[in-house]
Copies of this chain bind each other. A is one copy, B any other.
Amino acid sequence: MAVLELHAAPGHLIRRLQQIAVALFMAETSDYDLTPLQYAALLGIRENPGCDQTSLANYVALDRSTIADVVARLESKALIRRKPGARDRRTKRLDLTAAGRKLVMAASPAVGAVQDAILAPLKPAERAVFMASLRRLVHLNNEHSRAPLRLNGEESRPRKTA
Min distance, Cβ A47 to any Cβ of chain B, angstroms: 8
Contact of A20 among B47, B121, B130, B145 (CB under 8 A): B145
Would you call the interface of chain A mostly helix, strand, loop, or mixed? helix
Interface stretch (choices A82-90, A135-143, A152-160): A135-143
Chain B residues with CB under 8 Å of A21's CB are 10-11, 14-15
> Across the interface, do A16 and B149 meet the contact criterion of CB distance under 8 Å?
yes
Chain B residues with CB under 8 Å of A6's CB are 40, 43-44, 47, 59-60
> Across the interface, do B115 and A19 meet the contact criterion of CB distance under 8 Å?
no
> Across the interface, do A144 and B40 meet the contact criterion of CB distance under 8 Å?
no
**A92-118 vs B: 1/0 string, CB under 8 Å?**
000000000000110010011011011
Contact of A17 among B9, B112, B137, B149 (CB under 8 A): B137
A81 within 8 A of B: no
A72 within 8 A of B: no
A34 within 8 A of B: no
Min distance, Cβ A141 to any Cβ of chain B, angstroms: 5
Closest to A146 in B: B23
Q: How far is the CA of A36 from the CA of B60 in the complex (A)?
A: 23
A contact set with B: CB distance below 8 Å = 2-4, 6-25, 27, 36, 40, 43-44, 46-47, 59-61, 104-105, 108, 111-112, 114-115, 117-122, 126, 129-131, 133-142, 144-147, 149
